[in-house]
Amino acid sequence: MVMAMPINATEAEDQALYIKRLKYEYDNRTFAYLGMKKAAHVLQDEPAGVFYQAYYDLEVVNQQIYTRSAVALNFDYKAGWFTRFRGHAGGFAAHFITFSPESLIRIIVPYIPKLEQLRDLAEPRYQAFFDYVVAQEQAQLEASQVAKTDGWEQGAVVLRAFVDRIDIDKVAASSDEQ
């Protein structure tokens, strides 16, 4: 596997951390895509359904952005069977439980600094993509916080507004970035 090494990461351990964080984020997006797809379907007639549909819509766009960016980053990586299994299982769990906004917040809050670290280790020419990586996670956090205080529908409004503002061509890394 050939990968672009982050120009800001000159130490071997920083390079290893960059690859670790990048793999984890790509796994996370696969997990979220599969889980939200199933959850949106299962919860379509529930109050949380609008939120999970908006979350799934974000993950559909993320798949496009991350797939295009992987090519530019020379990042030939596919999520393993365990990640895909977890995504399907997480979505299937929506048959029995609905993950509360609080549970989403508890997951997202400690993850954002790791994405910021990934962004800081990345090559500056891919800044728009890595800024987006952080921004989409922050949008998930904001939407979850709004869902907690104002209800699922209002959280969905936040996610939809974020998705509506995305310009895929501006945020997806491309191999011709200088």
Sign of CA dihedral 127, 128, 129, 132: positive
Task: Give 176's DSSP letter.
Answer: T
Q: What gap in Å lies between CA 87 and CA 168, rounded to an integer?
A: 24
Residue with tokens 């800081």: 120
> What pLDDT is recorded for position 4?
53
From the list 39, 57, 33, 65, the residue with the least C-alpha distance to 156 is 57
Residues of the chain with pLDDT under 50: 1-2, 88, 95-96, 178
Residue with tokens 């798949």: 63
> What pLDDT is recorded for position 154?
98
Asked if residue 113 lies in contact with residue 60, where contact means CB atoms within 8 angstroms, the answer is: no
Candidates 3.30.70, 1.20.1260, 1.20.120, 3.40.50; CATH matching 14-171: 1.20.1260
Query: Percentage of residues in the chain with pLDDT exceeding 90?
Result: 57
pLDDT tens for 53-105 read 999 999 999 999 998 998 888 776 676 655 555 554 565 555 445 678 999 99
Asked if residue 172 lies in contact with residue 65, where contact means CB atoms within 8 angstroms, the answer is: yes
39-69 in b/e form (b: 16+ CB < 10 A) is bbebbeeeebbbbbbbbbbbbeebeebbebb
Q: What gap in Å lies between CA 52 and CA 115, rounded to an integer?
A: 22
List C-alpha distances in Å: 164 to 47, 61, 66, 160.
22, 10, 17, 6
Q: What gap in Å lies between CA 161 and CA 111, rounded to an integer?
A: 22
From the list 109, 82, 91, the residue with the least C-alpha distance to 32 is 91
The angle subtended at Cα 130 by Cα 8 and Cα 116, nearest 5°, is: 70
